[in-house]
Amino acid sequence: MRALLLVLLVATGCGRNEAVGDPSGSGARLINDTAREQARFDAERRPEKVVEALGIGPGSKVADIGAGSGLLTVHLARAVKPNGRVVATDIDGAVLDLLQSRLAAAGLADLVDRRVVGAEQPGLEAGVYDAILLAEVDHYFSDEVPWLKEATRALKPGGRIVISNRIHHRQKSMAAAQRAGLKIEAESTPVPTHFIAVFTAGTAGSK
C-alpha cells in the first residue's frame, strides 16, 4: 500500500510547480486530493492504533522508517508535539519532499526531521529513540535480522519497535523479530488487512 501510494504521489507531484498561480485551480485540486487521500487512509488504516502501540506522547522522539509521503508521519508529529521530534527516513529524497509538503499543510513541519538513508541501514543515532516504527516496510529488507539488531541500539532503555504490515507478511516479520532477539509485548489486528506488533529490545538490547 505505502509503495503504491508513493508512486502515485510522485507522479502527481511532478506537476506541482506548474500549479502555482494557475488560474484553473490545479493547486487547490491538488490540496483537496491530498486531503481526501489522507482521510481515506485514516479511515481504512486507523493510524491512532499505531500511535497507541508506539506509546508516544508530548516530548517523545520517534523514528518513522520508510516514511514515504507522510500519511502516518503526520499522526506521529501530532502525538509528540509541542516539544517532541519525529525522524522520518526513506531511501528516496523526492518522496520526502512530498512528506514535507504534507506536514507543512498540517502545520507540523517543524516537528519532523527528514533523513535519506541506505536501504539496509536504519541510519539512526544510538540510544535516543522512545520508539521506532516500521509500517509496511520490513519485508523490503534483504535480511531483516541485522537491520532489527542495529535498530535496537537506537532505542532508549525500555523503548519499543513497532512493526505494522499486511497480514500475509506477519509470519516472516514475527520470525525475523524473534531471531533478532526482540521480545513481543503486544499484538493486535485493528483492521482485517493489517497487524500491529510491539517489541522491546529483550536479549538483543543486552548484547
Confidence at residue 43, expressed as pLDDT on a 0 to 100 scale: 85
Confidence at residue 10, expressed as pLDDT on a 0 to 100 scale: 37
3-state secondary structure the chain: CHHHHHHHHHHHHCCHHHHCCCCCCHHHHHHHHHHHHHHHHHHHHCHHHHHHHHCCCCCCEEEEECCCCCCCHHHHHHHHCCCCEEEEEECCHHHHHHHHHHHHHCCCHHHEEEEECCCCCCCCCCCCEEEEEEECCHHHCCCHHHHHHHHHCCEEEEEEEEEEEEHHHHHHHHHHHHHCCCEEEEEEEEECCEEEEEEECHHHHHC
pTM summary value: 0.83
Q: Let me know if domain 46-206 sits in CATH 3.40.50.150.
A: yes
Confidence at residue 29, expressed as pLDDT on a 0 to 100 scale: 60
Under-70 pLDDT residues of the chain:
1-31, 203-207
What does the domain layout of the chain look like in residue ranges? 46-206
